[in-house]
Amino acid sequence: MGKLEVRRAEERDLPACMAMFRELNQLQDPWRVFEPRPGIEDEMARSYRAALEDPDALLLVADAGGEVVGMAAGHVHRPSTFSEQKAVELSSVYVQSSHRRRGLARKLTAEVARFARARGVDRVTLKTFVQNEEAVAAWRRMGFETRALQMTASPDRLID
C-alpha cells in the first residue's frame, strides 16, 4: 500500500466518492424500510459537491498513494427537536473492503471530530442500521454510544 493520507475531498475525487456511495447504498438496501426517492443518487452527488465549499460541511477521503480507498462526510446539524444545541453528523463512511481493519475509519472519524471541535461543537452523531453489525461494532469500539432507537411497524401489525 502507498502512503496513506486522510484529506479534504476535491472536485477530482467526486467520481470515486460516488462509486463508494453506490456500494454503501447497495449494502444498506436490504435494511431499508423507506424506499429511496428516484434521483437520490443525483441528490447525493450535488450534496458531496456542495460539501466542498460549505463551511458547515466536510467531505474527506482516505488517499492511498493517489487511490481513493475510503471516505466520510460530516455536517453541522441540530439533532434534538427540543434543543438548539448543535452536533456534527458523521455520514457516508465507507472503506474499501481491501483496506478495512487498518484504522482508516478511525482516522476519518477523528478528522470529523477535529472539524466538530474547530466549529465549537461538542457532539458527533451518526445513524446506522442495527442490522449492520460490523459497523455497529466499529462505532462502539471508537466510543459511540446509542442515544435513541427508531422502531417501525406496519399498521396491519398493530391492529388486531
CA torsion, points 11, 103, 136, 119, in degrees to nearest 10? Answer: -50
Write out the binding residues for ligand COA, residues 73-112 only, by CB under 6 A: 93-95, 100-106
The alpha-carbon radius of gyration of the chain (Å, integer) is 17
Distance, in Å, from the CA atom of 144 to the CA atom of 127, rounded to the nearest integer, reads: 11
Task: Let me know: does 16 contact 68? Beta carbons within 8 Å.
Answer: yes
What is 58-80 written as a DSSP string? EEEEEEETTEEEEEEEEEEE---
Q: Is 113 in the site for ligand COA (CB under 6 A)?
A: no
Site string for ligand COA, 129-148 (x = CB under 6 A): ---x-xx-xx--xx------
Site mask for ligand COA (CB under 6 A), range 24-53, x = bound: x--x--------------------------
Q: Of 59 and 82, which has the nearer Cβ to ligand COA?
A: 59
Is 18 among the residues that bind ligand COA (CB under 6 A)? no
Which stretches of the chain bind ligand COA, using CB under 6 A?
Answer: 24, 27, 93-95, 100-106, 128, 132, 134-135, 137-138, 141-142
